[in-house]
Structure 1
Amino acid sequence: MSVSAVSLSRLLRCSLPAVGRSANTHPARCVCEREPTLPGARWSSTRLDMDGSGRPATWDSFGIWDNRIEEPILLPPSIRYGTPIPHVSLSNVGCASHIGRRRENEDRFQVSKLAHNILYFAVFDGHGGPQAADFCHKHMEQHIRDCLEVETDLQAVLSKAFLQVDVALAAELRIYGNASLMMVGTTATVALLRDGIELVVGSVGDSRALLCRKGKARKLTDDHTPERKDEKHRVRHSGGFVAWNSVGQANVNGRLAMTRSIGDFDLKKSGVIAEPETTRTLLQHAHDSFLVLTTDGINFIMTNQEICDVINQCHDPTEAANVIAEQALQYGSEDNSTLIVVPFGAWGKHQNDEYTYNMSRNFASIGRWS
C-alpha cells in the first residue's frame, strides 16, 4: 500500500467527523475497508471509491460541497495540507460583463489555467480608452507564466508581472507617438489559486476582490484612492497634488480617481504607480463559499455584504454573475459592470434566509441616491 493512501486514510478518519452536513441532512460517515495484508492487494475505501469505478468520491461525499456542484477531491494537496480540498473547475466559474449606460465597454476579464495546479482570474477596468485594459488582457497572463518559471512565491510573481506589464505597455504606446495615449490606463485585480487552497491576490486601482467566508464578505483588496492617507502622502511627496471635483471625489492632479494603475504614464512622476498590493489566504473550504472579483461599476453601487448576500441566493456562479451585474444597473450604476465568481467548498451552504431581492423592484424608491 502506498504512503499516500495510508496518509489519506488517517486524514479522513481524523477530519470527517468535524465536517458533517448541516442538521437537516445526514452526517457523513467514514467507513473504510480493512487494509489488505496480501502483497499486491488493492487498497480501497468506500469513501474514495464509492461506486467501484476507481474514481475518487466527490466533495459532496464529505458533506461540505453543496450537492448542486460536485467535484472530486485533490488527493496530493489534501494530504499535504491535512484537509480535504475539492477540485475547483473552470467550467463552474461564473463571469459577466455588462456595458451599462456607457458607449463602450472598457472592462476586460480573463479566466484560465496557468499550470496543472495554478488557476488565473483577472478583471481590468480601463479608463481613457480600452487600450490599457486590452493590453493587460492580452499580455498579463504570459508575464505571470514567465515569472512562475523562476519564482515560486506567488505574491512576488504578481508584483513582478504587474511592473513588467506596465513597462511593456509604455513601450507599446510610445510607438504611436500620440501624447493622448499616455493618459490611458486600467485597474488590475488578479487572483492566483494554487493547489485549490492557496489564494494570492494582487491589485492596483479600485477593482475589488472579496472572499465570502461563513456568509460574510471579507475584503482581499483595498481601493487605491487619494483619500487613503498613505497613498495621498506618496502622491504629494512625488510632486503631485490631490484635488476634489464638484461631487467631492478626490483626484490625482485633478484627473485620476486612483493612485495606482497600469498605464497613466503622464502621472507616473506624480506618484501614480503600478506596484500592486498583494495578499495571501489559505482557503477554508468548509467555510469559504466563493471568491468574487468586481469592477467599480458594481462595488461603487453595492456594498461588499450586499454582493455576497445576493450571490448566496443564486443557484450557480453563472446565474450569480449575471444577477449582480443586472442588479448594479437596477441600483443606478452607469458604468461598465464586470465580475467573476469562483465557487469554493461551501458554495450554497451559507444562504441568508433574511435577505431577499427582487429584480423587478424599483430600487430608486429605497432612497439610495437621496
Structure 2
Amino acid sequence: MSVSAVSLSRLLRCSLSSVGWSTRCACMCDPTMPGVRWNSTRLDADGSGRPATWDSFGIWDNRIEEPILLPPSIRYGTPIPQISLSKVGCASHIGLNKLMHNVLYFALFDGHGGPQAADFCHKHMEQHIRDCLEVETDLQAVLSKAFLQVDAALAAELQMYASLMMVGTTATVALLRDGIELVVASVGDSRALLCRKGKARKLTDDHTPERKDEKHRIRQSGGLVTWNSVGQANVNGRLAMTRSIGDFDLKKSGVIAEPETTLTLLQHAHDSFLVLTTDGINFSMTNQEICDVINQCHDPTEAANVIAEQALQYGSGDNSTVIVVPFGAWGKHQNAEYTYDMSRNFASIGRWS
C-alpha cells in the first residue's frame, strides 16, 4: 500500500512555520512586485492609446487573472504572468500562507512499505531545498543535493529501526523561478508533464528495471532484475523502481536516490499547465489523455479532481494524487473532439477490450 503526500510552497531563505492539513500541503512565500492585471487595462503596446490585450503580446487571453511579473518580463523580453498558488489545482487539501516569493515549490511523494518515507520527505525536503538555495543558484544542482541530503537524513533517522529499512517513496519536485524557469527532479515512477500547444511533453522518465540504463546499473551493482506473475520487473523481486528515497536494504543493489533533472523555459503563449501525477493515475491513463482531460476543465482544481476520479473509474487500485499548475495558455488548447466519457475512453485506449 502506498501513501501519497503533496507539497505546494513558495520558498524563503528564512524559516517559517508550515500550515498543517490532513493530506499534507504547505505554502510559504514573501512579497513580490505589483503587476498589471490580465483582465484590467493593459499596457499600450502599439501606441494607439487602446488597451493592449494578451493576444497583442502573443499570449492567450485566458480565464485566470494574475499580474505580470515586471522584472522577469523585462529581463527575458516577454510578458511573464505570476503563477499564484491559489490557482493551482490539487486533489488534496491545500494550505496557504499569504506571503509570496519568486520561487515556487511543488512536490509529490508516493510512499511504499509504509508512510514513513513520504512523511519524512514532506516534512524535510523543503527545508533542505531552502538551505541549498543559500549557497547555490543552479536549481538543478539544488534539487540534486536536496534529494541526496533528505535520503541521508532519512537513513540516519531509521538506522535504529531495522524493520523500516524497506520503506521508501518516489519524489517528483518542481521549482519555478521568476515564473519562467521550470526545473523538475524525480526519482521513481511519479511523473511530471508539461502541456505545450495542447500536447503532452514529458519532463520525467519513470525509473523502472525495464529501462536499459537502469537495468544495467542494478546488475553492475550486484542486484537482480526479476519479473512477477503479471510481467512487472522488480529489483531483487521486491521493488518496481530503480530510484527512490529510502529502500535502504536495496542501496547495495543499485537503487539510488540521485534524481534526474530537467530545465525548461516556459513559453506562456503555448504552455497551458504543469501536472504531477502518481503511478495510480499513470497506470490507467496515457500522458496525452491526462492533458486532454485537463484541457476540458474550467479551472485547475476541477481538473485535479476529475483526473483523480477518472483514474479510480478506470480501475486504478493505487493512490491517485495529482497537482495541476496553470500557465499563460490555460484554456487555449481545448480539444473539441475529446471528452472524458467513460465508454469513449475505454474504447479509444483499448485497455479493457
> Structure 1 length as normaliser, TM-score?
0.79
Are the aligned partners of 1:60 and 1:70 in contact in 2 as well (CA < 8 Å)?
no
Are the aligned partners of 2:32 and 2:100 in contact in 1 as well (CA < 8 Å)?
no
Are residues 4 and 286 of structure 1, via their aligned partners in 2, closer, same or farther at CA, if it must alter by over 3 Å?
Answer: farther
Moved more, 113-122 or 195-204: 113-122
Q: Distance in 1 between matches of 2:283 and 2:198?
A: 21
Are the aligned partners of 2:188 and 2:243 in contact in 1 as well (CA < 8 Å)?
yes
Q: Distance in 1 between matches of 2:296 and 2:14?
A: 32
Are the aligned partners of 2:36 and 2:67 in contact in 1 as well (CA < 8 Å)?
no
Which ranges of structure 1 fall in alignment gaps of 5 or more residues?
21-27, 101-110
Can you list the C-alpha shifts for 1:49-102, whole angstroms capped at 9, x where unaligned? 8999999999688573444201111110001001110010000000014999xx
Are residues 30 and 48 of structure 1, via their aligned partners in 2, closer, same or farther at CA, if it must alter by over 3 Å?
Answer: farther
Q: Distance in 2 between matches of 1:226 and 1:112?
A: 40
Q: Distance in 2 between matches of 1:165 and 1:84?
A: 36
Q: Distance in 1 between matches of 2:253 and 2:124?
A: 26
1:128 CA displacement: 0.4
Are residues 36 and 170 of structure 1, via their aligned partners in 2, closer, same or farther at CA, if it must alter by over 3 Å?
Answer: closer
Q: Distance in 2 between matches of 1:181 and 1:12?
A: 32
Are the aligned partners of 2:171 and 2:244 in contact in 1 as well (CA < 8 Å)?
yes
Are the aligned partners of 1:96 and 1:340 in contact in 2 as well (CA < 8 Å)?
yes
Runs of 4+ deviating beyond 2 Å: 1-20, 28-67, 97-100, 111-115, 358-367
Q: Distance in 2 between matches of 1:295 and 1:186?
A: 11
Are the aligned partners of 1:94 and 1:342 in contact in 2 as well (CA < 8 Å)?
yes
1:175 CA displacement: 3.4
Matched residue of 1:16: which SS?
A: coil
Are the aligned partners of 1:144 and 1:157 in contact in 2 as well (CA < 8 Å)?
yes
1:32 CA displacement: 38
Are residues 351 and 284 of structure 1, via their aligned partners in 2, closer, same or farther at CA, if it must alter by over 3 Å?
Answer: same
1:129 partnered with 2:97:
no
Are residues 16 and 328 of structure 1, via their aligned partners in 2, closer, same or farther at CA, if it must alter by over 3 Å?
Answer: closer
Are residues 81 and 327 of structure 1, via their aligned partners in 2, closer, same or farther at CA, if it must alter by over 3 Å?
Answer: same
Are residues 87 and 61 of structure 1, via their aligned partners in 2, closer, same or farther at CA, if it must alter by over 3 Å?
Answer: farther
1:33 CA displacement: 39
Are the aligned partners of 1:325 and 1:338 in contact in 2 as well (CA < 8 Å)?
yes
Identity between Structure 1 and Structure 2 (%): 91
1:365 CA displacement: 10
Q: Distance in 1 between matches of 2:246 and 2:24?
A: 55
Are residues 53 and 331 of structure 1, via their aligned partners in 2, closer, same or farther at CA, if it must alter by over 3 Å?
Answer: farther
Are residues 122 and 366 of structure 1, via their aligned partners in 2, closer, same or farther at CA, if it must alter by over 3 Å?
Answer: closer
Q: Distance in 2 between matches of 1:15 and 1:69?
A: 31
1:272 CA displacement: 0.0
CA RMSD across the alignment = 12.1
1:184 CA displacement: 0.3
Can you list the C-alpha shifts for 1:285-341, whole angstroms capped at 9, x where unaligned? 000000000000001110000000000000000000000000001111110000100
Moved more, 54-63 or 230-239: 54-63
Are the aligned partners of 2:90 and 2:301 in contact in 1 as well (CA < 8 Å)?
yes
> Structure 2 length as normaliser, TM-score?
0.82
1:358 CA displacement: 2.5
Q: Distance in 1 between matches of 2:314 and 2:81?
A: 35
1:254 CA displacement: 0.5
Among 125, 143, 152, which residue is 2:137 paired with? 152
Are residues 161 and 56 of structure 1, via their aligned partners in 2, closer, same or farther at CA, if it must alter by over 3 Å?
Answer: farther
Q: Distance in 2 between matches of 1:362 and 1:41?
A: 41
1:357 CA displacement: 1.8
1:234 partnered with 2:214:
no
1:116 CA displacement: 1.8
Are residues 249 and 78 of structure 1, via their aligned partners in 2, closer, same or farther at CA, if it must alter by over 3 Å?
Answer: same
Are residues 324 and 13 of structure 1, via their aligned partners in 2, closer, same or farther at CA, if it must alter by over 3 Å?
Answer: closer
1:48 CA displacement: 3.3
1:167 CA displacement: 0.3
Are residues 160 and 277 of structure 1, via their aligned partners in 2, closer, same or farther at CA, if it must alter by over 3 Å?
Answer: same
Are the aligned partners of 2:5 and 2:108 in contact in 1 as well (CA < 8 Å)?
no
1:354 CA displacement: 1.0
Q: Distance in 1 between matches of 2:11 and 2:97?
A: 31
Are the aligned partners of 1:95 and 1:340 in contact in 2 as well (CA < 8 Å)?
yes
Matched residue of 1:203: which SS?
A: strand
Q: Which has the larger radius of gyration?
A: 1
1:227 CA displacement: 0.5
Are residues 52 and 16 of structure 1, via their aligned partners in 2, closer, same or farther at CA, if it must alter by over 3 Å?
Answer: farther
